[in-house]
């Protein structure tokens, strides 16, 4: 669970990344994202720190007050198996592609975190940065992935 203001910050970052990727056709740098948001780089990094290591999915992703439930949005018809829909829909391929499109440093960090089960402190030692900077990089990578996968979702 995350407070509403943290989710809003995360979505603002995600929206800026999405706009820049659409406009430039490549993953944006931190400087480009902060400029797009009208923030100084230190303010943007502070915002990433506030978002911390937020999750890829939020409660709101599963329901809206004025629309269908999560499963209803993703099912073609009521007889489909949700897992089959995700697999047939190319979600895995989209996720792999989105991860491949991450900047090298973020891709390496995500691999260490999720594939090698390293903690933030261990990753920081490998990358030569602080634990809090690794957390910021993770937040930024998750925001990039969310922005790219939102296209698949729609």
User: What's the CATH number where 124 sits?
Assistant: 1.20.140
**pLDDT band of 57, cuts 50, 70, 90:** very low
Please give the pLDDT value at position 59. 40
Helices 41-51 and 4-24, packing angle to 10 deg:
130
Q: Is residue 126 part of a domain?
A: yes
Select from 94, 69, 95, 93 the least CA-distant residue to 82. 69
Within a domain: residue 109?
yes
Residue 80 lies in a domain: no
- Provide mean pLDDT across the span 112-140: 92
**Predicted pLDDT of residue 64:** 43
Whether residue 29 is contained in a domain is answered as yes
Look at residue 137 and tell me whether its pLDDT is greater than 50.
yes
Number of domains in the chain: 1
Res 154: pLDDT = 56
Residue tagged 């602080």 (tokens)? 130
User: How confident is the model over 101-109, as a mean pLDDT?
Assistant: 92
Domain of residue 44, residue span: 4-57+89-153
pLDDT in tens, 1-33: 566 777 788 888 888 988 998 899 888 888 999
Let me know if residue 30 belongs to a domain: yes
List the one residue out of 63, 37, 32 whose CA is nearest residue 51. Answer: 37
pTM of the model: 0.56
Count how many residues are written for the chain. 154
Instruction: Flag whether 66 is in a domain.
Output: no
Q: What is the rounded CA–CA span in Å between residue 76 and residue 89?
A: 10
């Amino acid at each position: 669970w995350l407070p509403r203001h943290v989710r809003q910050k995360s979505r603002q970052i995600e929206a800026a990344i999405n706009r820049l990727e659409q406009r430039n056709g490549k993953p944006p740098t931190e400087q480009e994202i902060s400029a797009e948001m009208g923030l100084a780089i230190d303010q943007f990094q502070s915002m990433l720190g506030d978002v911390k290591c937020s999750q890829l999915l939020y409660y709101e992703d599963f329901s809206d007050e004025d629309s269908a439930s999560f499963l209803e949005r993703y099912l073609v018809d009521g007889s489909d198996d949700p897992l089959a829909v995700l697999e047939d829909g190319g979600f895995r391929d989209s996720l792999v592609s989105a991860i491949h499109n991450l900047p090298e440093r973020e891709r390496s960090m995500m691999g260490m975190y999720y594939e090698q089960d390293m903690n933030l402190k261990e990753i920081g030692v490998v990358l030569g940065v602080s634990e809090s900077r690794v957390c910021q990089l993770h937040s930024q990578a998750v925001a990039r992935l969310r922005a790219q996968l939102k296209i698949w979702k729609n």
